[in-house]
Amino acid sequence: MAVVGPATVYRACLDRPTFTLTVSVSPPTDACGSFGRHRLYGREDAFSPWKLLKETTVFNTTLFTATLPNTKAWEVFVSTGFSCSGADTFNSNHVLVDNQAPAQFEPDSVSVEFNSQRVVAGWKKPLDLDVLGYSLFKLAGGGNALIKDTIGTFYRFDTTTFNPRTSNNSFSIAAFDSCLNGGLLSNYHSPVYLTVQVNSKFWCAKKTTLTWTKYRGWVAAKYGVWRLCITDGRWEFLGDVLADLVNDPSVYTFLDTTYEVNKRYLYFVRAHKPMGNISSSSNTQTIDYGFLGNAKPISNITGVSVLGDNQIRLDVAWKKDGPSSTLSIEKKMTTGWAGIYSTGAAGNLLFNDNTAQTQLSFAEYRLIRTNDCGAKDDTSYVHNSILLTENQRVMSWNAHVGWTNNALNTAFRYHLEQYNGSTWNAIYSGTGSSYNLPNNLYGNQRFRVKIYSDDGKLPINYELYSNERKVYLGFDSSAFDTTLIPSAFNPSGINQIFKISNPAIAPGESEMTIYNRWGELLFKGDALLGWNGTDPSGNEVPQGAYIYLIQTSYRNKRTRYSGTLVLIK
């Protein structure tokens, strides 16, 4: 046998406008060279006779072309004959002419890719078995412009084809088969186009309006609004806007009132198809909410110091928020905080509170800034004055608040100072809040508490003071330390008690013992109270001479006196 097996027909394609039939075949093998010819036969339906459409003697022919009289679904096959008697004839498989394009289908979505900000389209392969590729079109000038033929199911367009910064990016797609029959175009699909309108006074109004076009191609169920805080790298879902299926508006809006000033944000909107997880993202819009007047606010009290009776000085620094921002100095009252001064002048300033009661209580102050929007947006740390008090030679003062916070943190000690002549001299330095005055201080004295920075965070000559406290500490009785002992007394006369006298000796610091001339004990008791001239039974003793022994213990010293006294009647 010369011809081994038949030819194989792969496809039969019909160009409908020209009625041209193209048949693709794979020729058989001919080991002995006995091939005679190939003949292409066809019929327009199963009830019509076969017609010879084409004949060739070229063995390796892979393509037959012929002109058909109509565009029906013809049936064709190839017959391969021998070169002698014609007994060796093989017929190929039968193939119907492909005269029908793939069915119309829709892309899944057209979207704007987040990172590249280029329009992208994606779709699933249609159910038709004979789909070779896809033709991508753009609506332009009232017609369809072919962008590209592709065999993939995803395409990223360059921005010259579809610019996501503009609207009406209308895309459609059609499948074509192996015969290059193109199917019908899909509906037009357009991604969501987002615009953002920032309020002219955004730092006050806190209103930014997002507006976007509806997704074109399928009906969205909702639109999710997203925001990326570029400054913090934080994603935030702002909420869903449900699609209005009744009125079917062409645009939707959303009001953002939750952004923070002096931060940068990126917005985008995602349309969601009712069923499944298909969605389409809009273009992104980046908004910088920078406001120089609302830079990080700083309101700070550097120091609070008593200037004199009922006068306290405040050293203040602050930054303005805008042309109409103000600073208020507030004071702690029994009913809460109350403003005592307001200014619109920025920078450093001095303020004297002439309503303070510096001898009765310490005062607490804070700063409140009202920004250009009329909102209170900054407050200082609380600072207080120092109140110095005295109780039974113990000097006490309240802890200073103001130099131990995040705005101003400096090391300091309390210095209790005594006024001596024309200078103030420190008698205590430390971190405590009280000091016991030494016993060798007498008379009228003046004291105050002073603090200053120990670590150089404030100038060494920047000092804060408490009120001045005047204290009377009594007289120095050591100058009158003389013990007087009488030599006689008359229980019935003017000097009725035998007792000692010494202003330096306090009750309980002396003892008196009285004996008669026979050594009998008549009295023992406090020498300051003395003896009234009676024996232990309360009977008056007779006139005469008696012996006394007096012992004292005071001011870390001891004394002893003995002698004779005369009792007169």
For 492-505, the pLDDT digits (tens) are 988 899 999 998 88
Q: Evaluate if residue 382 carries a pLDDT over 80.
A: yes
61-71 tens-digit pLDDT: 999 999 999 98
Q: Evaluate if residue 87 carries a pLDDT over 70.
A: no
Q: Evaluate if residue 224 carries a pLDDT over 80.
A: yes
H or E segment to which residue 212 belongs: strand 208-213
pLDDT, average across residues 446-454: 96
Return d(Cα 165, Cα 283) in angstroms, integer: 7
- pLDDT winner (highest mean) among 27-31, 285-289, 472-476: 285-289
Return d(Cα 6, Cα 186) in angstroms, integer: 42
Q: In the structure, what pLDDT confidence band is assigned to residue 531 with cuts at 50, 70 and 90? A: very high
pLDDT at 479: 66
Lowest-pLDDT range of 47-56, 171-180, 198-207, 329-338: 198-207
Q: In the structure, what pLDDT confidence band is assigned to residue 141 with cuts at 50, 70 and 90? A: confident
427-439 tens-digit pLDDT: 999 999 999 999 8
Query: DSSP letters of 478-533?
Result: GGG---B--SEE-TTSS--SB--B-TTPPTTSEEEEEE-TT--EEEEE-TTT-B-S
Q: Evaluate if residue 219 carries a pLDDT over 70.
A: yes
Q: Evaluate if residue 293 carries a pLDDT over 80.
A: no
Lowest-pLDDT range of 85-94, 326-335, 453-462: 85-94
Return d(Cα 425, Cα 334) in angstroms, integer: 36
pLDDT at 74: 92
- Confirm if 554 and 505 have CB atoms less than 8 A apart: yes
pTM above 0.85, yes or no: no
37-52 tens-digit pLDDT: 899 999 999 899 999 9
- Give the three-state DSSP class for 238: strand
Q: In the structure, what pLDDT confidence band is assigned to residue 295 with cuts at 50, 70 and 90? A: low
Lowest-pLDDT range of 169-183, 361-375, 468-482: 468-482
pLDDT, average across residues 347-363: 95
pLDDT at 83: 63
pLDDT, average across residues 433-457: 93
Contacts 24+ apart (CB under 8 A), 30-34: 30/2, 30/3, 30/4, 30/59, 31/2, 31/4, 32/2, 33/2, 34/2, 34/3, 34/82, 34/83, 34/84, 34/88
Q: Evaluate if residue 5 carries a pLDDT over 80.
A: no
Looking at per-residue confidence, does 439 or 331 come out higher? 331
Q: Evaluate if residue 490 carries a pLDDT over 90.
A: yes
Query: CA 11: distance to chain centroid?
Result: 67
pLDDT over 90, % of the chain = 76
pLDDT at 84: 53
pLDDT at 323: 79
Indicate the average pLDDT of the chain.
Answer: 92
